[in-house]
Amino acid sequence: MQKINWLLKMAWRDSRRNRGRLILFISSIVLGIAALVAIDSFGENLRTDIGNQAKTLLGADIAISGTKAAESTTLALFDSLSTEMSTRYDFASMVNFPKQEKTRLVQVIALDGGYPYYGKFNTVPEYNEAQFQGGQHALVDKAIFTQFKIKVGDTIDVGEASFKVIGEIISVPGRSSIGSAALPSVYIPMAYLAKTQLVQIGSRVEYSYFLKTPETENPDSIAQFLKPQLEKKLLRAETVASRQAGVSRAFDSMNQFLNLVGFIALLLGCLGVASAVHIYIKDKLSTVAILRCLGVSGRQAFLIYLIQISIMGLIGAILGAILGGLIQQILPIIFQEFLPIENITTAVSYTAMGQGIIIGVVISILFALLPLLGIRKTSPLRTLRASFEESDSRFDPAKMLVYLLIALFVIGFAYLQIGDLIASVIFAVGVFLAFLILVAVAKIVMFLVRRFSPVGWSYVARQGIANLYRPNNQTLILIVTIGLGTAMIATLFFIQGLLLNQVALTGEGEQPNMIVFGIQPEDKNAVATLAKDYELPLLQQVPIVTIRLEKINGKDKKAMKQDSTRKISRWVFNREYRVTYRDTMTDSEKIIKGEWYGDMNDKDPDKIYISLSDRIADAMEAKIGDELTFNVQGVRMKTIVSSVREVDFTRMQTNFFVVFPTGILEEAPQFNVLVSRVPTMEVSAKFQQDLVKQFPTVSAIDISQILESVEDILNKVSFVIQFMAMFSILTGILVLISSVALSKYQRIRESVLLRTLGASRRQILFINALEYFALGALATLTGLLLSFIASFLLAIFVFQITFVPNLWGSLLVFIVITGLTVFIGMFNSREVLNKPPLEVLRSEI
Amino acid sequence: MLFICLEEIVLITTQNMSTILKVNNLTKTYNTDSNPLTVLNNVSFSLNEGDTFSIVGSSGSGKTTLLGLCAGLDRVSNGSVELNNIRLDDLDEDERAALRNKYVGFVFQSFQLIPTLTALENVMVPLELRGEKDAAKTAKDLLNRVGLENRHHHYPTQLSGGEQQRVSIARAFSNRPKILFADEPTGNLDEATSQKVEQLIFDLNKEAGTTLVMVTHDLELAAKTQRVLTLKGGKVISDVVN
Ligand SMILES: Nc1ncnc2c1ncn2[C@@H]1O[C@H](COP(=O)(O)OP(=O)(O)O)[C@@H](O)[C@H]1O
Ligand SMILES: [Mg+2]
């Protein structure tokens, strides 16, 4: 007991004159823990909020929807099961804004009844059901209000009918504002839908029925009861519970990205702890040697510093948790637009804080242990010989144990955050390899510099370079720290750039920018003629048939579900396939397996050979020769997979999961798509107006117009990505600052000595600058190289985008990090330069 | 109270003139990059409790190495060292550390105070380590004894070399060691300060009846001890009792 008291006392006393250094050590874990706590509390609050507001996500007890309208018997059934019911039809259509002389594609939503039963439409002026249903009225999304500067009281044309705008929609239950910005909606009363003449046979409409069930009934059991009858009618039912699960799942992937960011910030913090403690302890070895001389055991000396570091880690973790709690207050503001619920709680999550603090302490101890363990072996002989360096190459089981624990921690934590064991192991192995490469680089540099020291150089230059390998050098630790830090920061920076570029690229260059769809077969030639009248090129004209998948190799969805050997995604059966037929491939396609078939006309009509894109083939686990049974608008059709194509989906053109040969689908109900390029916004607007006038069911998307409204979304997305990445980058920079700043103690005696021997200010600055420049440049270059490899692998295997090395970005990273290293290095020597040598020695050591 | 204790020890030591340090055929070889370097060659001697002993020789003759081996700071290549009848090479690092805390005091050429501790705290370390109750009181007495009444709370960098060495002497005697090792204790000090420090060491040594092993190249200083061992190139060339 007394021993522990003494150890605590010694830890306290010894820390008094090192507070500055210990604060640098703390700083590297504060941000990492802050990111973690902020992200965790945010996630936890969001989950609770989704639970609490679940009913408003759906707006009703049961929602039934499908691509076919319910028949009168089914409607009667709904009616018998509910106390109230609303019907909603949605479809995409062009809407004309005559006052603004603008046309654009919107989501038209026809509604009757008292929906939403939970939550409410948030409109300006306030929503009043009776008023809305009482005439040819429209409610218009705020995105359109901003884009076209329309006002309440304006008239808009939807198909053949005109509607008076009576309100601006601010938010609707269950929809995120980002979602509405991409395809903004216009609400009209169901009673006037027929007047628009937009809903005809073959139109793509989503039919929904919202039921409010009696309070005494359980909506889930009603939904369960309805299920078999709905499936026959191609309808599906959703309840509050199932919607909640769906929203939570969708939110999970966002959370995963955030978790990854938090994890990287934390890893950088670990790196900071390891390097700060390493440098700190190196400086403490002489004290340890004296203690050993006076009879302190290795274990006691080790404990003194372990206590010191643990307490500092605890303080850092607590500060980090508090900071995280504060940052957590702003996350909901940043993410608000992405979320389908309103008013996210910003309550402090004490579980998240507690976890953060525990993780902070564990990290501090775990990553401090490696350098700390060296204390046990410190020889008291140091007291007799000033720079006695131990040759400590013996096998130390304790060190091995720490390495093992660190590996387990990295893998385990990665697993918690990514949720994939193999990915976590790959990640940990990757970090370890990067570490080894940096160690190798440092050793090679030291060897080369020692072997080929520049003979002809001036004394100061030689001294600066020689500092890289002389005793007490900091080459290894700084190259590893700066290199790993750079690699992580640059990877994040590059990936972020690649992701953002990806979206921006779509609207540029000679790529097509207008898609006209919903063209009925009989209008096909007339639409083409209209386009030609506007001198628009007919880049592509494709027929599209909507079909569903029924069976794979004779097994339907149910049978597949029971087959535990196959893990086929559910959506493979649930989705509608929009397929085309043609005899040739486009230039964005490439056959990777099997053979392209093309033309059916004079071949065996029972063998329909189709082509799948690689992604859908993977999802179906389909191989060449497998049999797929499709339902083509009521007609069952057996097909055989003859080829798998690689498709560049990033190209702005019509791409298809499934392509049929010609000679099969020509007679099936279908519509056509025309792809073109409009030269200017004016031509685009005129053409679209003409088009809608002549062919009311046809829709056109002008990519540049979409981009305009999507730009806002993109800016918000990139802001979110950057905001989160900033956490990690800031931590990295702090780690860099603290490692370099701590390293000053290695050189301070020497600088003072040189100063005493009469070295000028410039000479000392030059020696320091050269050493730090060499270290910074080498470490940054290696780090950049590692980040190229990492971003290349991530781009190809995780994000599935092409990797383009960002050379200007690399140059920027190089200049910033090397510059920062040199700057802090020089900043370190300022004291030596501005104060008398003796004063420096007395205050610093 | 301290002095009562010291008197008791003097009584005990004078009554029981046993061997405190025994060095037998001691050899130390360093494995350098090129070829093995024998720094000490077959050194033997033994000391009784209360003896004063000095090791002299030119620089590089192996004095510091010998002192380090006697105090168990390093391992012998051949031969043996017995401190208070305990063979040092039978002990591990921690056992030797415990032994030092119990029986050994040190004074170094470069003082070796812990820079983050005050003068008083430096002196207290060995006492607290033993779990002594009145560590602060004993340490203050000792600091006063070496003439540093007003410097208890100063850090080593705020003290002059002579003052630092006096703190280090106070620390060396704080655990009432049976044997004190001093490696050129005045090597870093000017003449006048050296005189004071030497006097302190001899006085405290006499008061406590401690065995003194001192390395020096100052023959005048060596002459003040009872016995002088001269080293040259790692070999004993003379062992004179004054
Ligand atoms: N770790 C070591 N490796 C190799 N040689 C050493 C080492 N330590 C000391 N020596 C050598 O041992 C010899 C004796 O050193 P030392 O005992 O310090 O001499 P002294 O104290 O008498 O001046 C010197 O020649 C020195 O170079
Ligand atoms: Mg010496």
| DSSP codes joined into one string, A521-556 | GGGHHHHHHHHHHTT----EEEEEEEEEEEEETTEE
Residue window 18-47, chain A: list those with CB within 8 Å of chain B. Answer: 18
DSSP state of A337: G
**Any idea which ligand is nearest the CA of B62?**
1
B100 contacts A295 by C-beta, under 8 angstroms = yes
Burial label for A645, CB within 10 Å (0-12, 13-18, 19+), is buried
| Residues of chain A positioned with their CB less than 8 A from the CB of B64 | 384-385
Helix axes A524-533, A681-694, angle to 10 degrees: 150
The pLDDT score that the predictor gives to residue B54 is: 94
Closest CA to A632 of A604, A672, A656, A666: A666
Q: Which residues pair with A206 in a beta bridge?
A: A90
Instruction: Name the band, by pLDDT with cuts 50, 70 and 90, for residue B10.
Output: very low
User: Which residue is closest to B65 within chain A, CA to CA?
Assistant: A384
In angstroms, the CA B151 to CA B109 distance is 21
If one counts the domains in chain B, the total is 1
The stretches in chain A having pLDDT less than 50 are 506-507, 844-845
H or E stretch at A157: strand A155-158
The pLDDT score that the predictor gives to residue A490 is: 84
The pLDDT score that the predictor gives to residue A845 is: 44
In angstroms, the CA B100 to CA B94 distance is 10
Which of B97, B155, B183 is the closest to A384 by Cβ? B183
Of B39, B56, B66, B230, the one to substitute when testing ligand 1's pocket (max ligand atoms within 8 A of C-beta) is B39
**For residue B143, what is the domain's CATH number?**
3.40.50.300
Q: What are residue A735's phi and psi, to 5 degrees? A: -60, -45
**Any idea which ligand is nearest the CA of B39?**
1
Instruction: Name the band, by pLDDT with cuts 50, 70 and 90, for residue B11.
Output: very low
Structure tokens at A734: 């702090």
In angstroms, the CA A830 to CA A841 distance is 14
Best mutation target, B40, B99, B106, B184, to test chain A (most A CBs within 10 A):
B106
Residue B57 has pLDDT above 70, yes or no: yes
Closest CA to B177 of B123, B104, B127, B125: B104
Which of B97, B102, B108 is the closest to A292 by Cβ? B97
Instruction: Name the band, by pLDDT with cuts 50, 70 and 90, for residue B6.
Output: very low
Work out the minimum CA distance from A298 to partner chain B, whole angstroms.
6
Segments forming the whole domain that contains residue B69:
18-241
Would an 8 Å CB–CB cutoff place A218 in contact with chain B?
A: no
A157 contacts A205 by C-beta, under 8 angstroms = no
Residue closest by Cα to atom 7 of ligand 1? B30
Would an 8 Å CB–CB cutoff place A15 in contact with chain B?
A: yes
Q: Is the CB of B60 under 6 A from ligand 1?
A: yes
Q: Report the nearest atom of ligand 1 relative to the CA of B63.
A: 22
Q: Is the CB of B223 under 6 A from ligand 1?
A: no
Q: What string of DSSP letters covers B44-101?
A: EEEEETT-EEEEE-STTSSHHHHHHHHTTSS--SEEEEEETTEEGGGS-HHHHHHHHH
The pLDDT score that the predictor gives to residue A471 is: 66
Q: Is the CB of B39 under 6 A from ligand 1?
A: yes
Residue closest by Cα to atom 18 of ligand 1? B64
Which of A2, A298, A386 is the closest to B93 by Cβ? A298
User: Which residue is closest to A386 within chain B, CA to CA?
Assistant: B110
- Residue B80 in any domain: the answer is yes
The pLDDT score that the predictor gives to residue A192 is: 93
Side-chain-facing half-sphere of B4: CA atoms under 13 Å: 1
Q: Is the CB of B59 under 6 A from ligand 1?
A: yes
Size of interface A-B (CB pairs under 8 A): 90
The pLDDT score that the predictor gives to residue A832 is: 67
Would an 8 Å CB–CB cutoff place A12 in contact with chain B?
A: no
User: Which residue is closest to B109 within chain A, CA to CA?
Assistant: A384
> Inter-chain contact A379–B94, Cβ cutoff 8 Å?
no
**Any idea which ligand is nearest the CA of B63?**
1
What is the amino acid identity at position A233? K
Bond into A219 cis (ω within 30): no
- Residue B147 in any domain: the answer is yes
A75 contacts A254 by C-beta, under 8 angstroms = no
A107 contacts A185 by C-beta, under 8 angstroms = yes
Q: Is the CB of B62 under 6 A from ligand 1?
A: yes
Structure tokens at A768: 């320091």
Sign, Cα dihedral of A23, A25, A26, A30: positive
DSSP state of A634: T
- Residue B6 in any domain: the answer is no
Of A379, A383, A385, A391, the one to substitute when testing ligand 1's pocket (max ligand atoms within 8 A of C-beta) is A385
In angstroms, the CA A31 to CA A24 distance is 12
Would an 8 Å CB–CB cutoff place B114 in contact with chain A?
A: yes
User: Which residue is closest to B156 within chain A, CA to CA?
Assistant: A842
Structure tokens at A93: 């259509």
Q: Is the CB of B63 under 6 A from ligand 1?
A: yes
> Inter-chain contact B112–A6, Cβ cutoff 8 Å?
no
In angstroms, the CA B187 to CA A840 distance is 24
Would an 8 Å CB–CB cutoff place B132 in contact with chain A?
A: no
- Residue B218 in any domain: the answer is yes
Would strands B52-56 and B227-232 be described as parallel, antiparallel, or unpaired?
parallel
How much is the ipTM here? 0.80
Of B28, B32, B37, the one to substitute when testing ligand 1's pocket (max ligand atoms within 8 A of C-beta) is B37
> Inter-chain contact B115–A379, Cβ cutoff 8 Å?
no
Q: What are residue B86's phi and psi, to 5 degrees? A: -115, 125
Ion ligand 2: residues, CB within 5 A, are B 64
Residue closest by Cα to atom 25 of ligand 1? B60
| Residues of chain A positioned with their CB less than 8 A from the CB of B129 | 6, 294-296
Structure tokens at A71: 């028949």
Residue closest by Cα to atom 14 of ligand 1? B62
Which of B71, B97, B125 is the closest to A297 by Cβ? B97
